[in-house]
Amino acid sequence: MLSAYRIAINKLRTTQILDVKNESLTVKTFTFKDRECAKAKPGQFLMLWIPGVDEIPLSILDAGKDGSVSVVVKKVGEATGELHEKKIGETIGVRGPFGNSFSVNAGRILMVGGGTGIAPLFFLTKRLRRLAKRLVFVMGARTKDELLFKNELESTIDERHAEIAAVTEDGTCGVTGLCTEPLETILKSDEFDIVYACGPEPMIRRTFEMTEKQGIRLEASLERLMRCAIGLCGSCIVGRHRVCRDGPIFISEQIREFKDEFGISKRDFDGKTIPV
Ligand SMILES: Cc1cc2nc3c(=O)[nH]c(=O)nc-3n(C[C@H](O)[C@H](O)[C@H](O)COP(=O)(O)OP(=O)(O)OC[C@H]3O[C@@H](n4cnc5c(N)ncnc54)[C@H](O)[C@@H]3O)c2cc1C
Ligand code: FES
């Protein structure tokens, strides 16, 4: 049975877009007010309704004391395309916040973020930057212009104990390649208590394999198709888990359980198994 809290957060609330910011040619940040989602913790997600189009899951980029909430959206299809057309003052709908969150640790921390996966890790960085003994943030994108929040991260972290390693596929900024490429060296040359990862599933799979080899705890944010977001419809199953309810953050022990499908296969909207 759903608790009173879960019934309350699952109610669709309409709100107006307060701000729209272009982050790159294909990525925009949208800000709006929502009392429930403003209480979100890093790693949680919301369902955003684009009237007359669809409802889609999005990680929460930031949640302020003034009730404001931001999400970062990459244009990939119909719903995200329609959302990109929306202007300040237009109406959207929100449910959430849903799912679990990243743990807030005080140790030596490695973040691995790819594409829009950088967003929830940026939110987490803001919450633990004063606690962390050391913080290394590896961020990857196809090209320099798609390295989201690099400047904002640079001004958020304390350079005395934190650093950012940029990786681009075309070599326009930092190391050339995929963001998992410098990881092996970083993991061997420095000591970490925990690795946080969010981004494309093959990136997380590779990060999982490396942390397993080094015996370091991983917390990774997973994506699956979502409809209800409250554990009822079964669209988001991975192993014996429902990503919307038991995740989206999964720890090493859980990923080990479903490693035969993780990074390899997922379900489509008809429940058919398809390659990742
Ligand atoms: C927990 C979670 C957090 C996410 N956070 C972000 C984020 O912060 N920023 C961001 O840009 N994207 C995020 N996504 C992905 C985003 O939900 C999809 O890009 C979006 O739903 C695509 O909708 P569309 O109609 O534009 O694309 P479509 O043309 O319908 O689909 C394009 C691809 O998007 C994926 N997709 C479509 N519908 C869904 C759905 N209901 N649930 C999950 N994936 C779907 C599928 O892989 C599909 O192949 C997140 C997904 C999940 C599950
Ligand atoms: S989206 Fe329905 S069970 Fe997860």
The Cα-based distances of 67 to 31, 38, 117, 118, 119 in angstroms read 10, 5, 23, 22, 19
Domain that holds residue 14: 4-98
**Would you place residue 217 in the very low, low, confident or very high pLDDT band (cuts 50, 70, 90)?**
very high
77 and 118 in one domain? no
Number of domains in the chain: 2
**pLDDT score of 224:** 95
Q: How far is the CA of 151 from the centre of ligand 1 (A)?
A: 26
pTM: 0.95
**pLDDT score of 1:** 64
Mean pLDDT value of segment 86-104: 97
Largest CA distance in the chain: 52
Q: Which residue has the higher pLDDT, 42 or 274?
A: 42
Query: In the predicted model, is pLDDT for residue 198 greater than 70?
Result: yes
Q: How far is the CA of 228 from the centre of ligand 2 (A)?
A: 5
Q: What is the pLDDT of residues 122-167, one digit of tens each?
A: 999 999 988 889 999 999 999 999 999 999 999 888 877 889 999 9
Q: Which atom of ligand 1 is nearest to the CA of 248?
A: 1
**Would you place residue 84 in the very low, low, confident or very high pLDDT band (cuts 50, 70, 90)?**
very high
Share of residues in the chain with pLDDT > 90 (%)? 82
Q: What is the CATH number of the domain that holds 85?
A: 2.40.30.10
248 and 221 in one domain? yes
Query: Does the beta carbon of 227 sit less than 6 angstroms from any atom of ligand 2?
Result: yes
The residue among 98, 121, 156 that closes a domain is 98
Establish if 41 belongs to a structural domain.
yes
154 and 32 in one domain? no
Q: Which of 10, 47, 232, 246 to mutate to test the pocket of ligand 2 (most atoms within 8 A of CB)?
A: 232
Q: What is the pLDDT of residues 1-38, one digit of tens each?
A: 678 888 889 999 999 999 999 999 999 999 999 999 99
Mean pLDDT value of segment 237-256: 96
Establish if 262 belongs to a structural domain.
yes
Q: How far apart are CA 210 and CA 64, in angstroms?
A: 35
Q: How far apart are CA 17 and CA 108, in angstroms?
A: 37
62 and 169 in one domain? no
Q: Which atom of ligand 2 is nearest to the CA of 229?
A: 1
93 and 114 in one domain? no
113 and 91 in one domain? no
Query: Does the beta carbon of 241 sit less than 6 angstroms from any atom of ligand 2?
Result: no
Mean pLDDT value of segment 207-229: 96
70 and 130 in one domain? no
